[in-house]
A and B are shown apart, each in its own frame.
Chain A
Amino acid sequence: MIVGLDMGGTHIDAIIMNDGAITKVVKKPADYDDLFHSIWSTLKELLQGIDPSAIKKINLSTTISTNAIVENKTARVGMIIQGGPGLPNEHVAVGAENVFISGYTDHRGEVVSDIDTKEINEAIELFNDRKIADIAVVTKFSTRNPTSELAIAKRVSEQFQKITLGHQTSGKLNFPRRVNTSYLNAAVYDTFSRFSDNITLSLEKEGVQARVSILKADGGIMSIDSAKHMPVETILSGPAASLMGIQALLDTHEDAILLDVGGTTTDLFFLADGVPLFEPVGIKIDAYKTLVRSIYSVSIGLGGDSRIIVEDKKLKIGPRRQGKPFALGGPVATPTDAMIVLGQLDIGDSALAKEALAPLATDLGLSIDEVANEVLDTMARMIKAKADELLSEINSKPVYTVKELLHGKQLVPKSIGMIGGPANVLAPRLEKEFHIPCRYPQYYEVANAIGAALAKTTTEINLIADTSRGTLSVPELGVYEKIDRNYSLRAASERALTLVTERAVAMGATRAGLETEIIEESVFNMVDGFRTKGQNIRIKAQVKPGLIHSLKGRVVCKTKTDDTEVIPPIEKIDGIRVNGRPGSLSTCNAQADVATGTGKGFATASGGTHA
């Protein structure tokens, strides 16, 4: 049995899956003043009456770290930053105290000038004076050579409880982002540690010995122990859970747009050959641009409860939400009211819904039904406009070779996959706008929890071998070793695959059946004068993204329950609808296709190069 739990903005959803079937569902309101309690009480309820030894895996998508950052409830962090020449340094300052030290490493990884131990000692003193317990150390080009960061760490290690080193957060180049990422990691360390200790302890008490993992923003999981060391990886996992959920419910291997239409917002995602697109460098949280690997998702202020007004004789929907729909006792007209008016949604008071739309109809000189239709068409047009804008950005992502520029993959969605309340109402209208089929599963209420349950361990590494300097480095793993002059691309590729496997296993993956791949490799001759003096080999390897494959085929819901906390429409699961026509694809009830999503190609697989 696998447990999937997703903590959303208002609710916590949790499910138990057994052999591809959802056997239990719990939905509870989230209490943001006590996140641990919220999660634990949901889990406890879910596990009630279940044999604890039957639970093998628990995957949690939490907002623990995200909330701490967004609400500014993080620890004070002391930063030791070595900027070296280049851009002015001051602008990267972050956290409680920043100490800029001298010395630097160049783009080849050559330590041009060493650290000054006196400066480090002064930094230690300063942080102690200010009672700072968490620190981060970041040097420019530490991904090329971590020596300076390690040397500093050695000096300070006894003095502080948690030291985050820049090179361990990511193998990608981007010094300001590495500073932010390292800072955030140190800043949420305490908060996440407390949470993970609590969870581990509480499960122990209940006799549950399952492997506990935390969902990451890239749609994969990491063990709770690895997450404790790199808690920054656990930020913003919500959208990833929802994308994985849609993928699980709607199987596709082509280019597609995925939508999650909620009450307040609509999230857009993209698939290339069935594999999700990733953020090119890393995700942004609050004001911080980071190197945290993440699914590409864009949120727009448009949902079932968005406020509708008339401006310049035109309907304006969102981006604000002012409360419930009018028909449910809210203050303003919303798309939900329009759906009720058209008889496409059977909730609330339809008289109230009509009342809400009446002034809009007067302003526009239309009938109430016409306005209702116009509201939904406008929504579809807004989604189309945003999708087009994003696609044009995605398809003009920077490329660096003639081959890619002339023959590179262009993302051309062949279908739309969609979850959320208004899915069945919007689908036909989206089809009309996009001219491609729009599919939605009936069963979407706990899609995020399904996504969390089916996530697998993901990770990537960046390897650079410089045969002229005789060095090989894999920053994420702290690998920095000597190689000989004849070290080849082939040897480097093999090493990269071995290392990425080791890393995944250390993060909780099972070795058997682990699929790894090289997603970028290049080799450059390094020339001095007119002689080749060595090779510069660059490799990016990853665990293939996607869902665990043990659930090929179907998700069947076996649950029937009278528990009020359990979501009601479970009996209504009736498969996937195609083209907005109910049931045209489904051959039997109570099932939905599960995507395995292990296709390869485009930016998706690379985890880092769209847009």
Chain B
Amino acid sequence: MLKAKNKLGIVFFPAFDWAISPTHPERHERLLYTQDQIFEEGIEDIEGIEFYNPIVATPKDIKRVHFTVPSVEARLTDSHFISVGGAIKAMQAVMNKDVDKAFALIRPPGHHAQRVVYGDRGFCVVNVEAVMIERMRQEYGDLKVAIIDTDCHHGDGTQDVYWNDKNTLFISFHQDGRTLYPGTGFIDELGGPSAYGYNLNIPLPPQTGDEGFEYVLDHVVLPILEEFKPDIIINSAGQDNHYSDPLTSMNFSARGYAKLNEKLSPDIAVLEGGYSIEGALPYINVGIILAMAGLDYSHVIEPDFSPDKVSQTRHVARAVEKLSDEVMTLWKYRAELVEEKFRGKKYVENRRQVYYDTDNILENQVQKFKVCRQCSGVNTITSSNDQGDNVLGVTIPRDACQECQTEGHDHFEKSFRGAFTHAYLQDRINDEYRNK
């Protein structure tokens, strides 16, 4: 009988009755073959592996992270609350020490959901990991968290949520934004004034293979984690870097994913994208489960595997090495860069346009971060879209000083009703969320 070296909790919730549409990649059948593989391998019988059902997240959980327009209840379906609840359950199993590690195999995914939510973008409406992390901080204190996003698409939602939070290191490696949705995630996107350098992007060239991913892990991710010393490591475990994924162009294998999780050793992994549902997901998921449980994954091999499918050209290899060097340089000199970029500024403004591909909405927004010596600074978002919404969002961060708290409350109270269709206040100090 097999026995897990690390006690592993698995929340497996395939949501067989939920789909964006019947033929959409995010459809009923997505985790069917993964379930078959997990059942047939007898994973449930391995000593030290526990299965959990999701809990149902509350609207308040969502409001800690998002300004959902017009309201949380209007935008989220039951399946979103359950998907988030699945991640929360995984987190609780780890934090309560029921298990050493946990893997939330849930859908729909979340890493493209940004702070403002008008609808679905990149198949995401709510940022599953962020909601989970903020619930964790609410229940278990201000833990230092590192999120490693291994989805093939840039985790632009998570980047947005933690843009100005130095307590949350976000590293995303993904296929270069010039060649893939959402078109962001370049190395100069480094974070807001109080967290500059704590948002790191590694935009990999198409056809990066197993070796390239391992190189990035060994030469960028692990050294940075060594220095950052997080309390909790989270793998935003998208599986679409796989060589057989229909939406992307990378050369990563199931065993590559397993090895990555073995080396990274995340406390919690949360499934994100990955749409090669027959040829890749069953094998990647079993690989990740075995790696997290500390079991032998060397026999996890895709039916159509051959070494050339995960190889990379020398050209790609060199590009990956160069990129890794550049990111490490930015990380190393982050303090100097902050000084250079934000010196003497009281507020930093960030203008951008966000497109909701799934729901076809175009948003214009301005984020304004106060540069504060005492705390990470109150910040606001003003946003409008082509549907006629006009939104103000005020965020008082968890570490806000008295002055920033007052400023945040004033800004929300004094906001002119006529100027916005919706105004929101996120008071993370008092865990209070208001809107008008």
Contact = CB atoms under 8 A, between A and B. Distances in A.
Interface residues of B, number: 49
A527 B27 contact: yes
Given A176-B45, A405-B13, A406-B56, A91 B282 contact: no
A110 B29 CA distance: 18
Contacts of A558: none
Contact of B28 (A176, A396, A524): A524
Nearest to A397: B53
Contact of B42 (A174, A526, A532): A174
B17 A526 contact: no
Interface string B320-358: 000000000000000000000000000000000000000
Interface stretch (B147-155, B259-267, B294-302, B419-427): B294-302
B278 interface: yes
Given A86-B41, A88-B299, A527 B29 contact: yes
B237 to A, nearest CB: 19
A399 interface: yes
Contact of A87 (B18, B36, B39, B41): B41
Interface in A93-118: 106-108, 110, 112
Interface string A162-176: 000000000011111
Contacts of A53: none
Contacts of A85: 283, 299-303
B93 to A, nearest CB: 12
A526 B37 CA distance: 17
Given A86-B37, A176-B42, A106 B303 contact: yes
A259 to B, nearest CB: 28
Contact of A401 (B17, B22, B33, B42): B17
A402 B300 contact: no
A89 B14 CA distance: 27
Given A85-B301, A174-B40, A402 B78 contact: yes
Interface string A406-429: 100000000000000000000000
A529 interface: yes
Given A398-B12, A405-B82, A88 B296 contact: yes
B36 A527 contact: no
Contact of A108 (B18, B41, B278): B278
Contacts of B283: 85
A289 interface: yes
Interface in B271-288: 278, 282-283, 286
Given A107-B33, A140-B40, A173-B40, A87 B22 contact: no
B74 interface: no
Contacts of B295: 87-88
Interface in B160-179: none
A499 to B, nearest CB: 21
A525 B27 contact: yes
Contacts of A176: 41-42, 45
Given A85-B299, A400-B16, A402-B17, A175 B23 contact: no
Contacts of A110: 303
B239 to A, nearest CB: 16
B53 A402 contact: no
B2 A87 contact: yes
B186 interface: no
Contacts of B278: 107-108
B29 A526 contact: yes
Contact of B45 (A107, A177, A403): A177
A91 B2 contact: yes
Contact of A530 (B15, B23, B79): B23
Given A112-B303, A405-B13, A398 B23 contact: no
Contacts of B299: 83, 85-89
Contacts of B53: 396-399, 405
A536 B2 contact: no
Contacts of B40: 86, 107, 140-141, 173-175
A287 B47 CA distance: 13
Contacts of A524: 16, 28-29, 32
B15 A536 contact: no
A522 interface: yes
B16 A107 contact: no
B22 A532 contact: yes
B45 A400 contact: no
A525 B82 contact: no
Contact of A402 (B82, B246, B298): B82
Nearest to B45: A289
A590 B241 CA distance: 73
B215 interface: no
Contacts of B296: 87-88
B16 A401 contact: yes
A281 interface: yes
Given A87-B42, A289-B45, A524-B28, A173 B36 contact: yes
A536 B29 contact: yes
A572 interface: no
B246 A529 contact: yes
A177 B82 contact: no
A531 interface: yes
A299 B364 CA distance: 64
B23 A532 contact: yes
Interface string A137-178: 000110010000000000000000000000000001111110
Nearest to B277: A527
Highest count of chain B CB atoms <10 Å: which of A110, A175, A402: A402
B44 A87 contact: no
B54 interface: yes
A173 B300 CA distance: 18
Interface of A: 83, 85-89, 91, 106-108, 110, 112, 140-141, 144, 172-177, 281, 287, 289, 396-403, 405-406, 522, 524-527, 529-532, 536
Given A85-B303, A88-B2, A91-B2, 18 more contacts: A83-B299, A85-B300, A86-B286, A86-B300, A87-B2, A87-B42, A174-B40, A174-B44, A175-B40, A401-B16, A405-B53, A524-B28, A524-B32, A525-B28, A527-B27, A527-B29, A529-B246, A530-B24
Interface of B: 1-2, 12-18, 22-24, 27-29, 32-33, 35-37, 39-45, 51-54, 56, 78-79, 82, 246, 278, 282-283, 286, 290, 295-296, 298-303
15 contacts: A87-B42, A88-B295, A88-B296, A174-B40, A400-B13, A402-B18, A402-B78, A405-B13, A405-B56, A524-B28, A524-B32, A525-B22, A525-B29, A527-B23, A530-B24
* The 4 A-B residue pairs with the shortest CB-CB distance in the complex, in nearest-first order: A176-B42, A173-B39, A85-B301, A524-B29
